Amino acid sequence: MKTLLFIGDSITDSHRLFLDTPHSLGDGYVSMIHAQLPQDEYTVINRGHDGFTSADLLRCLKRDCLTLSPDVITILIGVNDIAAQIYGRINRIPTEFETIYSSILAKIRCCLPGARLILMEPFVFSRPAEYLKFHPHIRQESRIIQNLAAGCGAVFLPLHDRMNSQNDALGGSPLTVDGIHLSEEGARLLASLWLEAAASCLTPD
């Protein structure tokens, strides 16, 4: 059995903390991935938290990741760091974000040297127009994460342009309910992109 762990913010959480079921996977992309994998071969754990920033992820890393000894770790974090900078006027990107994300990866590599890593690019949609101001910061975070992935042998999964292009192609905003969080269709697309990117991590060692 391989253990697949997903950590991050509300996109990963996707109501898992509000569903009255043990070991809830939420109702988003993580549960959809679980449904498509052989359940006698994979254990899937969701430790996403609504509202988490990269600093929150680092603070809870031991509890939510290191003590669980997963084989594959997927990280999706960054949008709330941008919100903290724009609305809370906290100067976090790029320097602090890079430092924190580097610390997360260093702790994982130190404690779980055999774990495979999948680093997902944060994304925000173009509608409502309010979120267009997030896009330059997404680009900065993306460059940071992509460079860190290359440096530690992780899989980098680009999402921002792909999710936006698909959303625009479909007309309206079918992939998102509010410009950040995913609709069922959006979660299904994200699950599909993850399964494609994670193929090398899911093959037997």
Q: Which tens digits make up the pLDDT trace of 147-188? A: 999 999 999 999 999 999 999 998 878 999 999 999 999 999
Total Cβ atoms within 10 A of residue 167: 23
Confidence tier at 18 by pLDDT (50, 70, 90): confident
**Mean pLDDT value across the chain:** 94
Domain definitions of the chain by residue range: 2-202
2-202 falls under which CATH superfamily?
SGNH hydrolase (3.40.50.1110)
Mean pLDDT to the nearest integer, 105-114? 97
Is the pTM higher than 0.75? The answer reads: yes
Amino acid 96 reads E
Residues 6+ apart with CB under 8 A from 20: none
Query: Given this model, what pLDDT does residue 204 score?
Result: 62
Query: Given this model, what pLDDT does residue 150 score?
Result: 97
